[in-house]
A = this chain, B = another copy of it.
């Protein structure tokens, strides 16, 4: 069954209005975007300089100097501009728009005669374009600029940046492709593939779709382009001096043609960006082999290599997937960007087929790994999102140096903060889907919002969603129809039944009357003739649950996590003391919930009974002794807070997976 389920931008118009999420969009608009603008201009004291604006000024001939930062520094500016584009679409802001217009002007000046835009190669290695696709991120940066242009055009209607990137894409199309004389290469960091699909969907220019397809089809063919390129380069690398071994093709997922891939390997952000483009292309071209590969890879990632927080990437070595069921909590990577990419992938899978598991994962990654990456002040970010932190180990055990107990200001490689900004400011695009031909509106995420849809028979339909999530499960939908629809409109509302491990079935009422529904692919399908003003209330059970992990996930054996609705919880030292490993949930932990208005901006905390090792009976210099001898254990109360709020108080230990007395 092929049910396209997330509409294109022109099929739906959505504006978020939600008690929980308004705080975040405001934070992005009022704090993150302005803060990141300062960062891009190297004006944040104590933070590593970005050089991003400076590089463009130098490339535009407005300033003298050397290129600064990493080879893909341009992409930070692009991601910021993309976020600005979304934000302006939702919240007009003339002052911000003026700044953005000026930056776009600057980018235009830095564009070369032939359309090329890249400050690194313009300033530092002119003449070396396309000689190191493996390392140099040229097409990656191009992709981000294209995404920015599409967002800015959609948000403001202004074409300037779109024109810049079309010229750039035309130029890239003249360099790469199957035709004789063109390069048969593709980027070492996937990104342009999904960007070209967006450019195609925005401009209708099929060449962009074909170019994306070319990059995807060519990837992994033998002999390897990257190996040949490495030979041509004299076996050198952008990253280290001297010669280097042949590239690890798994790292960038070019070890196999994409249609033959079944297991997620290598750098996790590269992987999910690629899967996203694959799902786009499968949808747009009807390529069933590509779709099957997407489904296999989805299943592998989300069922065998995903943390309960929606994090992916088990090792910091290569910021990569490791292997099935290898999900260590303390040496984890779970990069913010990777979870964002997983959300992109999930959204595209929903467009291929409306199955609630895609939206479930989207929600899991969003509410936990992604939200948790940002501090409450919007100015500090995690790159790595651990499920277990011992600050002293982060400081003193080099295998955990990458796991920070405190969010950082801005990174030298600052991919994550602007990625969070662009996701949160475009969140309205992730809530709904529609299948106009079927007169069906899908609700994937329960986020308060006003939306307009155009359906085939029902015509224009307005929906006002109100949601008390994540604290309460009441969600309502008020239907609004145009005045000419006095007799109502027949369409189906398809409401996701969340996989929150709840025991009850959500209850649906319309006008106070319970309504029966059937469940299809995890969606409650409510087909009826709706009248203007009808209100459907969807009551989601929200129970606090202890969650077990598959026994094959060794790291979580004998442990449980706490989840309530979409939120995963954690224990922090601030509430429970240390070491947290000493805590063991009581056999009957009697979990209770309580809204604490004063804690971390207000949240529901979960409390219960636990047993803790009684350290008073242990001398500090006794490492080992017979079990059960001496002090033993003592009953204690524990307090869990939502994972996304961790690390906003005094730095300390944190754990998601808690020991349980149940084997």
Contact = CB atoms under 8 A, between A and B. Distances in A.
A654 to B, nearest CB: 12
Contacts of A620: 304, 550, 552
Contact of A557 (B299, B318, B392, B582): B582
B551 A613 contact: yes
B315 A626 contact: no
Contact of A581 (B554, B560, B561, B582): B554
A505 interface: no
Interface string A298-310: 0100111010100
A565 to B, nearest CB: 14
A94 interface: no
Contacts of A549: 623-624
A314 B397 contact: yes
Contact of A306 (B242, B546, B623): B623
Interface residues of A, number: 66
A594 interface: no
Interface in A132-177: none
Contacts of A397: 314-315, 317, 322-323, 326, 328
Nearest to A364: B624
Interface in A279-314: 299, 302-304, 306, 308, 314
Contacts of A546: 626-628
Contacts of A551: 579, 581-582, 613, 615, 618
Contacts of A398: 315, 317-318, 322
Given A315-B397, A557-B582, A548 B633 contact: no
Contacts of A552: 579, 615, 618, 620
A304 to B, nearest CB: 7
B659 A625 contact: no
Contact of A558 (B303, B554, B584, B625): B584
A516 interface: no
Nearest to A318: B398
A547 B625 contact: yes
Contacts of A618: 550-552
A322 B633 CA distance: 28
A611 interface: yes
B627 A662 contact: yes
Contacts of A659: 557-558, 663
B622 A303 contact: yes
A326 B317 CA distance: 21
B579 A547 contact: no
Interface in A535-554: 545-554
A659 to B, nearest CB: 5
A319 B582 CA distance: 28
Contact of A241 (B242, B322, B548): B242
A234 interface: no
B548 A628 contact: yes
A554 B390 CA distance: 9
B396 A326 contact: yes
Given A557-B579, A557-B659, A326 B623 contact: no
A268 to B, nearest CB: 14
Interface string A610-640: 0111010010111111111100010000000
Nearest to A560: B627
Interface string A572-593: 0000000101101000000000
Contacts of A35: none
B623 A399 contact: no
Contacts of A581: 551, 554-555, 557-558
Nearest to A589: B627
A390 B553 CA distance: 11
A553 B180 CA distance: 64
A50 interface: no
A393 B326 contact: yes
A663 B624 contact: no
B323 A547 contact: no
A501 interface: yes
A331 interface: yes
A660 interface: yes
A661 B663 contact: yes
Contacts of A613: 551, 557, 663
Contact of A579 (B242, B299, B393, B554): B554
Contacts of A326: 390, 392-393, 396-397
Nearest to A630: B548
A582 B546 CA distance: 18
A461 B579 CA distance: 54
Interface in A396-412: 396-399
Contact of A304 (B315, B579, B612, B623): B623
A322 B548 contact: no
A628 B662 contact: yes
A630 to B, nearest CB: 9
25 contacts: A241-B242, A304-B623, A315-B397, A315-B398, A317-B398, A317-B399, A322-B396, A322-B397, A326-B390, A326-B396, A331-B331, A501-B625, A546-B626, A547-B626, A548-B627, A550-B618, A551-B579, A551-B613, A551-B615, A552-B615, A557-B582, A557-B659, A558-B584, A628-B662, A633-B663
9 tightest A-B CB contacts, nearest first: A317-B398, A557-B581, A551-B613, A584-B663, A611-B663, A546-B627, A303-B621, A554-B581, A323-B396
Interface of A: 241-242, 299, 302-304, 306, 308, 314-318, 322-323, 326, 328, 331, 390, 392-393, 396-399, 501, 545-555, 557-558, 560-561, 579, 581-582, 584, 611-613, 615, 618, 620-629, 633, 659-663
